[in-house]
Homo-oligomer: A and B are copies of this chain.
Amino acid sequence: MIDRLMEKIRETQNPTVVGLDPRLNMIPDYIKEEAYAKYGKTPAGAAEAFWQFNKAIIDAVYDLIPAVKPQVAMYEMYGTAGMEAYIKTIEYARSKGLVIIGDIKRSDIASTAEAYAAGHIGRAVVEDEEYEIFKEDFVTLNPYLGVESIEPYFGHMKKYDKGIVVLVKTSNPGSGQIQDLPAGPEGKPLYEIVGGLLEEWGADFRGKYGYSDVLAVVGATHPEQGKRLREVLPHTFFLVPGYGAQGATAEDLRGCFDANGEGAIVNSSRGIIAAWKKEKYAAQVGDDWAQASRLAVLEMKEDLNRVLK
């Protein structure tokens, strides 16, 4: 699946993943009103508004981007109706040829991790029947529980050509509280030790461009650390959050890319999906609000390519 992601990035010349993390205050009123008219001001109403919003954004940007990253928390908050909207969003994005990174950050072990793996990137079994439930191509995982929280995904990754994205160094200001602790016999920062584990875990999953199906989350908000990780993790592709709304610039994340300008994909959520609320776009697109997301994608693409050339 890493090969497919890299090829999509080459095709679109755009190492951008659009984070589909809707909140009600990002959604145009007419969409919400239609949803509430159908389902009331209920979780089902919110979920319907999310789905219509996502669909319009996917329609506006799918030809410009390689991938989308729906954040499951936003949907899960609204219970089963929300989860239904999460799945419909994934199915629709897939129908448009996009790679799907499910931002689920799950963490569990043994049979429990196996259940997450089966539901998200594998198949859920009911007696002799198999079902594809969440249909992501990649899912994000938290490594705190160690290898037993990662290995249960390997079988499904092999069988269904899927991947995982493991938290290494996250973009939040307080990520260092645990991740930066000097650790192990040599006192390396913990995130670097975790990164080393990813290189091991990914060894059996390398694709034809040298990167593996075991990706790392490396926040753009820590440029020096990103650069260092790029050097010591030569086979680990990075998913880079923190651009835009969280304050990182294209220059900040240059170090997450390799010498060929590859090896990373940059996430933007609010900056793209809520672009219609920004005056500079609103003035250009009039009522066609989703076109603001298209303009924001084009601007981000240009910004990233400027530093990658």
Contact = CB atoms under 8 A, between A and B. Distances in A.
Nearest to A77: B119
A80 B84 contact: yes
Interface in A94-131: 105-113, 115-116, 118-119, 124-129, 131
A109 B170 contact: yes
A94 to B, nearest CB: 16
A178 B109 contact: no
Contacts of A179: 144-146
Interface size class of A (residues with CB under 8 A): 35 or more
A157 to B, nearest CB: 17
A207 B184 CA distance: 36
A128 to B, nearest CB: 7
Interface stretch (A189-197, A222-230, A281-289, A293-301): A189-197
Contacts of A125: 24
Interface stretch (A9-17, A41-49, A59-67, A254-262): A41-49
Contact of A177 (B79, B106, B147): B147
Given A124-B43, A129-B42, A181-B183, A79 B83 contact: yes
Contacts of A174: 145-148
Contact of A119 (B79, B133, B190): B79
Contacts of A91: none
Contacts of A127: 24, 36, 41
Interface in A130-157: 131, 133-134, 142-149
A161 interface: no
Contacts of A126: 24, 41-43, 45-46, 78
Given A42-B129, A77-B115, A115-B74, A193 B176 contact: no
A146 to B, nearest CB: 4
Given A115-B73, A144-B142, A124 B190 contact: no
26 contacts: A24-B125, A24-B126, A24-B127, A41-B126, A41-B127, A41-B129, A42-B131, A43-B124, A73-B108, A73-B112, A73-B113, A74-B115, A77-B115, A79-B124, A80-B83, A105-B106, A105-B108, A107-B167, A142-B144, A143-B178, A145-B178, A148-B174, A178-B190, A181-B184, A182-B185, A190-B190
